[in-house]
Amino acid sequence: MQKWIFFVLFILAGVLGLGVLFQDISERQEAQEAEAAASKLPQLKIVASNWQFDNANYTVKSGETTKVSLSLKEGVHAVEIKGLDIHLDKENPSKEVKFDKPGTYEIECVLPCGEGHATMKTKLVVQ
User: For residues 46 and 71, is the Cβ–Cβ distance under 8 A?
Assistant: yes
Domain 43-126: which CATH class? mainly beta
- Give buried/exposed letters for 8-41 (b at 16+ CB in 10 A, else e): eeeeeeeeeeeeeeeeeeeeeeeeeeeeeeeeee
Q: Which helix (H) or strand (E) holds 33?
A: helix 2-39
* pLDDT confidence of residue 58: 94
Sign of the alpha-carbon dihedral angle for 22, 26, 31, 35: positive
Tell me the per-residue pLDDT of 70-121, one tens digit each, with 9 for 90 and over: 988 888 899 999 988 899 998 989 999 999 989 999 999 998 888 888 889 9
pLDDT given for residue 22 in this prediction: 60
Q: Alpha-carbon distance 82 to 99, whole Å?
A: 13
- For the entire predicted model, the pTM comes to 0.65
Domain boundary assignment for the chain: 1-40, 43-126
